[in-house]
Structure 1
């Protein structure tokens, strides 16, 4: 049954990927940007975005950007490209346009939005459609993009605390912090499995210091109690038990 489910998942993933690729390629091949005024091109790009055709929109916006690099719409085109590539899940192109905008327009009135978008782009790159779709726990995946997203939102809220995007950025920082704590917890649990007790206790301690207040903390304290017990470190074990009992009085270890 598990093998059948796995085969169905693979078939579904392949089908969606093939369909998506063929559709994107078809759109790119079929659409040719007309020789129009900047106003006309930008109007076409906005209509494409509003219709959800972000492949067509990026084609027009890139053309507008190259044909009229100093035109009236230059900064808005750059902002739209960031969003359009984000919607296409094209991380590399989206981040490249973010970097270009920051470099060329460091004091622009919408620079807070650009920092916010950088966070969203990195956060999106950290997720995986099929893991979410089928509720697969992959908190052990590489957290590089998650760490980058956290730094992006952190820069936003510190530099622009009154930004309209700051509140959402703070909430996303909490979610990312929980995700990073869970990743580190998986490492600690691996050390436990390997009976590398010192490494397990050290990683659990690191999580307590780096990600306090996250759901992973309770499990980390349990790992510390077990690890110090195995190491014969009675004082450290009792200290971890005291913290566990004070913070999570309903925990089974704390009740012993």
Structure 2
């Protein structure tokens, strides 16, 4: 069949139009539909939309915080909960937001040998909940979680103190154990710390301090796991050091055959055992006499190691120099004096030309 020029042009135009229409009617890519479906099937639409609503609407902020919390993105959830409280302090969900801040911090804590900062932040957040929103429905759970956080902090100090004790860093160990007793006296871990502190002072050679802490453990923590071991160690110390019994309050429960005065042979054996090599911490403590009890009834912390004030009624030979502990003592020292009435509490009698 022979087409004319005009017919051939019409056919070409027709075919071109058919091809163009087929191209325009192609279906959209399935990935676009999938993406829209994924967004609409979750709560992530709260991350898109009007910026004013996202920044100020309480429901949007709370949903965003909850979404981060469910994904275990606790740092981001804390930011959103705090943002909610900054804008809506009087909102009905304000106590809940403060509670979830504490929970988010607590969830970031891992093990006792890791950074304790999340525990400390959790305690502060729950304390703020109890202070700012008293009698809220979250009060009981907040108090229980605070105790858990404190117990974990105490266990961390206990672990570090035991490490120092094994390394014979006695003063560092004593500092850790005393920190538990001072900061967490209501916990059972305080009793554990008392026992290990007594062992530390025993190794330091300050057995009177050791006995005082053991007496405190026996009296104040009868259900502590170290209670029985504390009684045995106390009986042993009192048996080996009968001269200290008069200076300590006696515990009736410790009376018995184990507290009899040791024989001369036993005393000689105990004295000979003290001639073994000692650490630097032991040498430091043994150069300083016993510290008087603090007003709380406990001995002063080991690192302080202060001597009792020098009595002004004592007759000292003349000339005699008094210097502050920890200084080189001579007549030209700025801390030296020859008048006992001018002595500070930290001063002691020293010979000229020695380390005081």
Same fold (TM over 0.5): yes
Query: Aligned partners of 2:37 and 2:52: how far apart in 1?
Result: 11
8 Å CA contact retained: 1:201, 1:227: yes
8 Å CA contact retained: 2:201, 2:209: yes
Highest relative contact order (Cα 8 Å, sep 6+), 1 or 2? 1
8 Å CA contact retained: 1:116, 1:153: yes
CA 1:110–1:241: 2 relative to 1, 3 Å = same
Superposition deviation, residue 182 in structure 1: 0.8
Answering whether residue 116 of structure 2 is matched by residue 143 of structure 1, we say yes
Superposition deviation, residue 165 in structure 1: 1.0
Number of corresponding residues: 197
Query: Aligned partners of 1:32 and 1:146: how far apart in 2?
Result: 41
CA 1:173–1:30: 2 relative to 1, 3 Å = farther
Q: Deviations over 1:72-106 (max 9, x none)?
A: xx211111221221111102210111221122222
Superposition deviation, residue 113 in structure 1: 0.9
Residue 6 of structure 1 aligns with which residue?
Answer: none
- Unaligned stretches of 5+ in structure 2? 1-32, 236-356
Superposition deviation, residue 32 in structure 1: 3.5
Q: Secondary structure at the match of 2:48?
A: helix
Equivalent positions of 1:87-126 (< 5 A) are 87-126=70-109
Larger radius of gyration: 2
- Identify the match of residue 186 of structure 1 among 135, 159, 162: 159
CA 1:236–1:220: 2 relative to 1, 3 Å = same
Q: Secondary structure at the match of 1:126?
A: coil
Superposition deviation, residue 229 in structure 1: 0.9
- Identify the match of residue 217 of structure 1 among 178, 187, 190: 190
Superposition deviation, residue 33 in structure 1: 7.6
TM-score, length basis structure 2: 0.51
Query: Aligned partners of 2:75 and 2:36: how far apart in 1?
Result: 24
Query: Aligned partners of 2:166 and 2:129: how far apart in 1?
Result: 39
- Unaligned stretches of 5+ in structure 1? 1-28, 35-40, 49-55, 128-137
Superposition deviation, residue 218 in structure 1: 2.5
TM-score, length basis structure 1: 0.70
CA 1:31–1:151: 2 relative to 1, 3 Å = farther
Query: Aligned partners of 1:70 and 1:153: how far apart in 2?
Result: 26
Q: More helix by proportion, 1 or 2?
A: 1
8 Å CA contact retained: 1:33, 1:63: no
Q: Could you say what the CA RMSD is over the residues aligned between the two structures, in angstroms?
A: 2.4
Equivalent positions of 1:201-240 (< 5 A) are 201-240=174-213
Residue 132 of structure 1 aligns with which residue?
Answer: none
Residue 228 of structure 2 aligns with which residue?
Answer: 251
